[in-house]
Amino acid sequence: MKAERLAMLPPYPFALWSAQVAQVERRGVDVIRLDIGNPDLAPPDAVIESLCESARVPGNHGYGGYRGLGALRHAIAGYYERRFGVVLDSDVEVLPLIGSKEGIVNLALATLNPGDVVLVPDPGYAPYAMGAMLAGAEVVTLPLLSEHGFLPRLDTIPDAITARAKLMWLNYPNNPTGAVADLGFLADAVAFGRDHGILIAHDAPYCDVAYDGYIAPSILEIDGAMDVAVEFNSLSKTYNMAGWRIGMAVGNRGAIGALAQVKSNVDSGLFHPLQEAAICALATAPAWVEARNAIYRERLRILVDGLLGMGIVAPMPRAALYLWVPVHETPGTGPDGLATMWLEEAGVAVAPGAFFGPSGAGYVRISATAPTERIHEAVARLRAVMKV
């Protein structure tokens, strides 16, 4: 028996796509996975050593605490002060998460009532909408269009919608588009939240995956942001720790308290050694991050140049792990167009843009999270299929 709420909840698109990829692999095809943002590189050595050392301590195998170790919360607050100049009270404005994805969904359960409106970017990360649906809220999408720099037009949202809206999701640097937002836009978002009584949730897991000197801001740098905003962040992309499931929510203490109340009823916190490793990761020298980012930049450049050789123009992003590539649908390849053809004929998996919302139709997202030699091979395969 399924709960009625699941009738409103579509299957997670990447779960369905992974099943399609698996079908191709069962035919003996060596599929190059450029569809998901799953870092292929290892975390810093010191982080791995910290995990191992902590796991050998007999007393570290019990519950890790509903709000996490005080030392971890202090480390998160220290990172925010060093990186953004934002001062946080680690007791009430910082909450460790079992990866930011669960926090995103649980924030909806913590802050929304049935019938409330949630403003969600389109294209965007699916859990923003899925959490709202689980909470019985109504999802209203904000189109992110190339002509507006993939920023939502807050001034075009109808008054009837803003009157019912309780939560708005933003995500910069952006997944899937790679777009960035400056402090001016973030200030407008904070003012919008304050004027309409809307909680602004800014998802920022790619803030330290940036190129060519770009430095991404935090929404909490804006004066008054702590009154209306929370920010989600993660160690997944910054330190190559996606499978470790360590994230954080910081900002408005009311929202953090509500999220903590939900979490204390549905999970028992992070494994103690993971928290010790997270503390170590947050102390990683910026030079390590810069060297890792240089690898991603090289891979993205290989992809950009390779696509250009096929007549496909993909802009080089300033941040994040992805190319957001405008493509023409190929007749006879099904609803996912070129992505399906590339998977079936070249053994190269990319993400159909429609996975991220209706405004993603006509795009594919290509991830740089495969070894560089595999990136070269993917380009060669695609050139062969595209006959260029």
pLDDT tens for 41-81 read 999 999 999 999 999 999 999 999 999 999 999 999 999 99
- Which one of 3.90.550.10, 3.40.640.10, 3.40.800.20, 3.30.70.2500 gives the CATH number of domain 45-284? 3.40.640.10
Q: What is the pLDDT of residues 277-293, one digit of tens each?
A: 999 999 999 999 999 99
Nearest residue to 219 (alpha-carbon basis) of 241, 245, 200, 247: 200
User: How confident is the model over 347-364, as a mean pLDDT?
Assistant: 94
Burial profile 254-272: b = 16 or more Cβ within 10 angstroms, e = fewer: ebbebbbebbeeeeebbbb
Percentage of residues of the chain with pLDDT beyond 70: 97
Q: What is the pLDDT of residue 283?
A: 98
Residue 20, pLDDT score: 92
Buried b (16+ CB within 10 A) or exposed e, 361-376: eebbbbbbbbeeebbe
Q: Quick check: 308 and 107 in contact, CB under 8 A?
A: no
Asked if pLDDT for residue 334 goes beyond 70, the answer is: no
Of 14, 208, 209, which is closest to residue 101 (Cα–Cα)? 14
- Region 147-172 average pLDDT: 97
Answer whether residue 332 shows pLDDT above 50.
no
Tell me what pLDDT residue 328 has.
66
Q: CB of 356 within 8 A of CB of 350?
A: no
Phi, psi values for residue 194, rounded to 5°: -65, -45
pLDDT digits (tens, 9 = 90+) for 228-246: 999 999 999 999 999 999 9
Widest CA span in the chain: 61
Give the mean pLDDT of 135-139: 96
Query: Cα(68)–Cα(62) distance, rounded to whole angstroms?
Result: 12
Q: CA–CA distance from 309 to each of 13, 177, 305 (Å)?
A: 30, 21, 6
Domain definitions of the chain by residue range: 4-42+287-386, 45-284
pLDDT, mean over the chain: 95
What is the per-residue pLDDT for 336? 61
**C-alpha distance from residue 298 to each of 42, 295, 372 (Å):** 17, 5, 8
Provide the pLDDT for residue 356: 95
Question: 260-276: per-residue pLDDT in tens?
Answer: 999 999 999 999 999 99
Looking at the chain, the whole-number percentage of residues with pLDDT higher than 90 is: 92
Reply yes or no on whether the pLDDT at 330 is more than 80.
no
Strand extents, DSSP E, the chain: 32-33, 94-97, 117-122, 138-143, 165-171, 199-203, 229-234, 247-251, 322-326, 348-349, 351-352, 363-367
Is 335 a residue whose pLDDT tops 80?
Answer: no
Asked if pLDDT for residue 329 goes beyond 80, the answer is: no
More confident residue, 3 or 303: 303
Q: Considering the domain 4-42+287-386 in this protein, what is its CATH number?
A: 3.90.1150.10
Task: Give 333's pLDDT tier (boundaries 50, 70, 90).
Answer: very low
